[in-house]
Amino acid sequence: MRYDDLPDYFVRQMREASTIFTAWRAADAARREHQGSMRWKRVKETDYLIKTSRAGRQRSLGPRSAATAALHARFNAGKAAARERYRALSDAMRHQRHVNKALRIGHVPTLWIQILNAISDGGLTADLTVIGAASTYAYEAAGAIRIRGDGDGAMLAERCGRLQLAAANRDAAIALLALLRKIDDTFSMRDERRDRAAGAIFAVNRRGMEVELVLVHADGSGRGDELRDLLGGPKFHQPVLGLNGDMAAMVTLDPRVFALQKFRIANQLNRTAPERAGAALLARMILAVVRERMPPPPAITADHGDRHAAAPPARIPVVCIGEREQRSRVHRGPAQFNTPCRQRHGGA
């Protein structure tokens, strides 16, 4: 398992698109903060400033005064500015989407992009974290590289067909299941006892694309202890590009924590030899990407996470790969960079 550097024009476009996407998301958040309205309402010869929420709920902010008049003016000016900035950046994002699609830069399945955007729009990013093979989409985007299987495409096939998410609480899990049905009404729950015993919920759509939701149990049952160890480290935030040119913000494990998880799998004797070898190769490759293709990451300490977070993620082993792995420097063109997921999803 190795990786290729992306062509320079890919890298420039990805950086430009990511910058605009981040600004567009911030503008959308500012626009949401200014939703609703403020108006004056006269009650018994006195004007009161009334704030109306998007849902129609009203509350008084006080009688007319210099302070409430200034608040009214700031709100209206801020709302107009936020709306204009969001409109301008929305136009810029539409242009970026066309460019991304024309260049065929993105290769994250469109369904994964839709789910990640729904998580962001629903305010669930703090409670839902991408784990598993799909995390490598974020590491590829951050390092401006593309992973290739070199004959062992199991990981590449897995991330195209399965999205794994860890839910910090049951409310977030329920909200995600509702979002899945809104995005694709063909999603149905797979009801198997072994899934429930492991603390996992599986949803599969008619195309066979699978979303696995793993609950972090407070009592340590299922995979609770393992997930608390993993999620106790810092999170990795990265815009990713989809097959259709759309973008989404992925929140996943720090790549060093991800590598530690793979090293643990490589040391599990109940795994098959190919699984252990593949996990070790992937871990070494991700650490090489962190060292050679990403900005210096912050140190991982035991202070990350909540009081239940265990210390192991803070003790990331330093792995010396020895000789630098031989990687192809030949840029084979956009079509070949996108073959694994495009073959499955038809380039949509």
Model pLDDT for residues 58-70, shown as the tens digit of each residue: 999 999 999 999 9
Confidence of residue 315 (pLDDT cuts 50, 70, 90): very low
Domains of the chain, by residue range, sit at 1-105, 107-324
Give me the pLDDT at residue 191, please.
64
pTM to 2 decimal places:
0.79
- For helices 154-161 and 135-143, what crossing angle results, to 10°? 110
CATH class, range 107-324: alpha beta
On average, the pLDDT of the chain sits at 82
Average the pLDDT over 35-48 and give the result.
89
In this prediction, residue 330 has a pLDDT band, given cuts at 50, 70 and 90, of: very low
Name every residue whose Cβ is closer than 8 Å to that of residue 288 and which is 6 or more positions away in sequence: 321, 324, 325
Helix, strand counts (H, E) of the chain: 12, 12
Q: What is the pLDDT of residue 233?
A: 77
DSSP 233: S
pLDDT of 306 reads 43
- Residue 339's alpha-carbon distances to 9, 100, 240, 272, in angstroms, are 19, 16, 17, 27
For 189-217, write each residue's pLDDT tens digit: 876 555 555 568 899 999 989 999 988 76
Tell me the two tokens of residue 75: 């709100």
- Statement: residue 23 has pLDDT above 90: yes
Q: According to the per-residue pLDDT averaged within each range, which of 89-98, 273-282, 323-332 is highest?
A: 89-98
In whole angstroms, what is the distance from residue 61 CA to residue 142 CA? 45
Residue 138: what pLDDT?
A: 95
Token representation of residue 117: 């955007």
Q: What is the pLDDT of residue 217?
A: 62
DSSP 8-state class, residue 306: -
Q: How far apart are CA 237 and CA 172, in angstroms?
A: 19
Distances from the Cα of 248 to the Cαs of 58, 87, 130, 186, 263, in angstroms? 34, 18, 13, 22, 29
What size, in residues, is the chain?
Answer: 348
Residue 222 has pLDDT above 70, yes or no: no
Residues 173, 167 contacting (CB under 8 angstroms): yes
Q: What's 314-331 look like in SS3?
A: HCCCCCCCCCCCCCCCCC
Q: Which of 2-16, 176-190, 226-240, 243-257 is predicted with the least confidence, judged by mean pLDDT?
A: 226-240
What band does 327 get if pLDDT is binned at 50, 70 and 90? very low
Please tell me the predicted confidence (pLDDT) of residue 35: 86
- Any idea which of 118-122, 163-167, 257-261, 329-333 has the lowest mean pLDDT? 329-333
The mean pLDDT value for 31-52 works out to 89
% pLDDT > 70, the chain: 79
Per-residue pLDDT reduced to its tens digit, 223-233: 555 677 777 77
Q: What single string gives the DSSP state of each residue in 164-209? A: EEEESSHHHHHHHHHHHHHH-TT-EEE--HHHHHTTEEEEE-TT--
